[in-house]
A and B are shown apart, each in its own frame.
Chain A
Amino acid sequence: MLKYIVKRVLLALLTILIICMITFFVMHAVPGGPFNREKALSQSTIDALNARYGLDKPLWTQFINYMKNLLHGDFGVSLKNGREISDIIRESFPISARLGLTAMAFALTLGIILGSTAAIMRNKWPDRVIVFFSTLFTAVPSFVLATLLLLVFSIKLGWVPVWSATETHYLLPVMALAAYPMAYTTRLSKTSMLDALGQDYIRTAKSKGVAKWRIIFKHALRNSLIPVITYAGPQIAYIITGSMVVETVFTVGGIGTKFVSGINNRDYTLIMATTIFLATLMVIATMLCDILYKLVDPRIKFD
């Protein structure tokens, strides 16, 4: 067990290092430096600036310096507005995290309920309705859903105000974000519930005369949750970070919006810093989930 954890942590660290390297060197392949302005600077000024910021050193030394700064929580400054990127992250990340966690809680709860219902009422009309909608929602891209929700509920019907700086409304973004994971969780928990209901221990419980609902909650549901947990772990990390599109549609001031605006402005330091930050978060979440998963289910072998 300990061996597995050590191995997994080492793999995660290596992955993070590789992500940092990819980000750093790929970004440095972009032509032009930070001092390329419309007004040409004299060569001596550029040299002086380069020396001042350590840009005259070889790339490897620059990388090591960058990593040292990262470890101190210093992500550098934005190329466009000169703000500290760590400040930008500090103020925008909590919004995204809150949005993502709410959406995920919503998606998991509903998904498990709907999936189990479909499995229990197999081939009856509730099952068919649930399967129809969950198949449909896995085919709708989140930006389409987000835009449609915005159009119908905010603009046409006017039930929910559009997100603004003073008034924050989580309802529509949460719905848009939750749709896909909910549909996926529904499908997943339906198949695993069916699987669990077909097991021998369910038959034993039935023959002992255990009440139907007790069988479902005590025996089947618990065992059917394992695949859902495996899916949910990394998905939580992805939804916190991957909500760029939905955030852009609703103009939520989260980290996704910042990332997209960084892309559109070609703000390389901001792109670099957010990529590293989000990627590290994802890698750590996936790692924790993997370890937890093996702890929860003793049947899984440690290879």
Chain B
Amino acid sequence: MAEKTPEKNLLSMQLDLSKFNSYMFKKASEEEKKQQDVMSESTTFFKDGMKKLMKNPLAVGSIIVLGLIIAVIIFAPLFIPYSYEEILSVDGVRDKGAKNLRPFEYSKLEQQYIEAGGTRFPHIFGTDEQCRDYFIRVIYGTRVSLIVGFFASIIVLIIGMLYGSISGYLGGRTDMIMMRIVDIIYSLPDMLIIILLSVVLQTILKFRPGSLLDALGTNMISLFIVFGMLYWVGMARLIRGQILSIKQNEYILAANSIGAPTGMIIKRHILPNCISVIIISTALQIPSAIFTESYLSFVGLGVQAPMPSLGSLANAARGGLQNYPYKLLFPALMICLIVLSFNLLGDGLRDAFDPKLKK
């Protein structure tokens, strides 16, 4: 106790420490001070969640699988010399023998060409009944299915987020009316309405030829419209529930009391706090959108031919099932792999970021 106790200033309100005996107020020793040091690095909510996620082998596995699939669908078309709608030809001559080839098989014309010294890229998955390279079709089908799943989820997310946050934040009568609308849409049988709308939208939607919308095809657009109209309700409900509980917090009261505008409060304080719920449910939305798309394609309401999607490829493969079962196997495996990975990733995200949400 070499250090002296601080002296009391005259007129100050502080305790005069010299009046107390030393064991009541002891200065902290170096060792005791050290105990107060923060040992581990300070982590953010996001870092903490990522660390937990990376410890989950299933989630890491599905991230790797998804990464591989995405890499393949981006880079494979760059070095495969066929396109998804191209009917095979050798040296400018239509190759009529290249029908329903088995994986890595060449047609007679191609074999002659190779024997004559030409090089020909192998048909990794064989060809289909219209002499098109099947591998590139599966790749494009995966692209289409993933794009549909991804964008449908984004649409659902945006509409659901806006609707849910407005409804939850405003509360009262507005909330009641908005939620009754959600109740009604929620109780509509989604698949039936989707089919109904797709049937009709396909006949009435017309786009300017050559525009971006036209290139996507009416079926794809009607898919997005249908998703945007029906599937946002689940997301809206979820976000409204989150907001109702976040709204009780003191910092919202504080923001209100200094006169922050509503939109600002929603954007700055409320949405960042329900971001984990949003990410998790979006991750789980993607596989369900891919499922729905594949069903629609299967029923004949999916993307426009010659553009393939995994569902329409699987549907087309049913025709020659007995002789070419692998044609069903490739797109089917792809769907399963994608859906499985997204499901596992979603579960992992939920466990890592929001253990409370676990059902």
Contact status A151-B196, CB under 8 Å? no
Give the residue of A18, A151, A275 whose beta carbon is less than 8 angstroms from that of B192. Answer: A275
- In the complex, A108 has a CB within 8 A of chain B: no
Bitwise, A148-166 to B at CB < 8 A (1) or not (0) is 1011000100000000000
Q: Tell me, in angstroms, the Cα distance from A144 to B339 when the chains sit together.
A: 13
Contacts of A19 in B (CB 8 A): 188-189, 193
The answer to whether residues A139 and B359 also contact, given A249-B318, A271-B199, A282-B189 and a CB cut-off of 8 A, is no
- In the complex, A191 has a CB within 8 A of chain B: yes
Contacts of A242 in B (CB 8 A): 191
Contact status B192-A141, CB under 8 Å? no
Contact status A31-B301, CB under 8 Å? no
CB nearest neighbor in B for A259: B195
Contacts of B325 in A (CB 8 A): 151
Bitwise, B158-180 to A at CB < 8 A (1) or not (0) is 00000000000000000000000
- In the complex, B187 has a CB within 8 A of chain A: yes
Contact status A139-B340, CB under 8 Å? yes
CB nearest neighbor in B for A15: B187
Contact status A30-B195, CB under 8 Å? no
- In the complex, A51 has a CB within 8 A of chain B: no
Within 8 A of B (CB), among A240-269: 241-242, 244-245, 248-249, 259-260, 263-264, 266
User: Looking at chain A, what size class is its interface with the partner chain?
Assistant: 35 or more
CB nearest neighbor in B for A195: B359
Contact status A263-B188, CB under 8 Å? no
Contacts of A264 in B (CB 8 A): 300
- In the complex, B298 has a CB within 8 A of chain A: yes
- In the complex, A23 has a CB within 8 A of chain B: yes
Bitwise, A184-198 to B at CB < 8 A (1) or not (0) is 000000010000000
Q: Tell me, in angstroms, the Cα distance from A14 to B187 when the chains sit together.
A: 10
Q: Tell me, in angstroms, the Cα distance from A220 to B162 when the chains sit together.
A: 41
Give the residue of A18, A241, A263 whose beta carbon is less than 8 angstroms from that of B300. Answer: A263
- In the complex, B36 has a CB within 8 A of chain A: no
Contact status B192-A143, CB under 8 Å? no
Contact status B199-A136, CB under 8 Å? no
Q: Separation in Å of the A190 CB from the closest CB of chain B?
A: 11
Q: Is the interface of B mostly helix, strand, loop or mixed?
A: helix
Q: Tell me, in angstroms, the Cα distance from A242 to B291 when the chains sit together.
A: 14
- In the complex, B183 has a CB within 8 A of chain A: yes
Q: Tell me, in angstroms, the Cα distance from A33 to B291 when the chains sit together.
A: 34
Greatest chain B CB density within 10 A among A26, A138, A141, A260 is at A141
Contacts of A11 in B (CB 8 A): 183-184, 187
- In the complex, A67 has a CB within 8 A of chain B: no
Could you say which of B124-132, B267-275, B328-336 contacts chain A?
A: B328-336
The answer to whether residues A147 and B336 also contact, given A30-B204, A191-B359 and a CB cut-off of 8 A, is no
Give the residue of A31, A144, A271, A283 whose beta carbon is less than 8 angstroms from that of B336. Answer: A144
Q: Separation in Å of the B164 CB from the closest CB of chain A?
A: 19
Q: Separation in Å of the B292 CB from the closest CB of chain A?
A: 10
Q: Tell me, in angstroms, the Cα distance from A140 to B195 when the chains sit together.
A: 21
Q: Tell me, in angstroms, the Cα distance from A227 to B359 when the chains sit together.
A: 10
Bitwise, B185-218 to A at CB < 8 A (1) or not (0) is 0011101110111011001100000000000000
Q: Separation in Å of the B77 CB from the closest CB of chain A?
A: 25
- In the complex, B219 has a CB within 8 A of chain A: no
Give the residue of A26, A147, A238, A260 whose beta carbon is less than 8 angstroms from that of B197. Answer: A26
Q: Tell me, in angstroms, the Cα distance from A18 to B186 when the chains sit together.
A: 12
Q: Separation in Å of the A152 CB from the closest CB of chain B?
A: 9
Q: Tell me, in angstroms, the Cα distance from A148 to B189 when the chains sit together.
A: 28
- In the complex, A12 has a CB within 8 A of chain B: yes
Contact status B188-A279, CB under 8 Å? yes
Contact status B299-A147, CB under 8 Å? no
Contact status B187-A286, CB under 8 Å? yes
- In the complex, A27 has a CB within 8 A of chain B: yes
Contacts of B339 in A (CB 8 A): 138-139, 141
Contacts of B328 in A (CB 8 A): 144, 147-148, 151
The answer to whether residues A245 and B299 also contact, given A26-B200, A271-B199, A275-B196 and a CB cut-off of 8 A, is yes
Q: Tell me, in angstroms, the Cα distance from A147 to B187 when the chains sit together.
A: 31
The answer to whether residues A241 and B295 also contact, given A18-B184, A263-B300 and a CB cut-off of 8 A, is no
Within 8 A of A (CB), among B333-347: 335-336, 339-340, 343-344
Closest 8 CB pairs of A and B: A139-B340, A144-B332, A139-B339, A282-B189, A15-B187, A279-B189, A139-B336, A26-B200
Can you show 20 pairs from A to B with CB atoms below 8 A apart?
Answer: A11-B184, A19-B188, A26-B196, A31-B204, A139-B335, A140-B332, A141-B291, A141-B295, A141-B311, A141-B335, A141-B336, A143-B294, A143-B298, A144-B328, A151-B322, A227-B359, A242-B191, A263-B195, A275-B192, A279-B188
Known: A30-B204, A141-B294. 7 other contacts (CB 8 A): A11-B187, A19-B193, A22-B188, A136-B340, A144-B335, A242-B191, A279-B188
- B-side residues, CB < 8 A to A, are 183-184, 187-189, 191-193, 195-197, 199-200, 203-204, 287, 291, 294-295, 298-301, 311, 314-315, 318, 321-322, 325, 328, 332, 335-336, 339-340, 343-344, 358-359
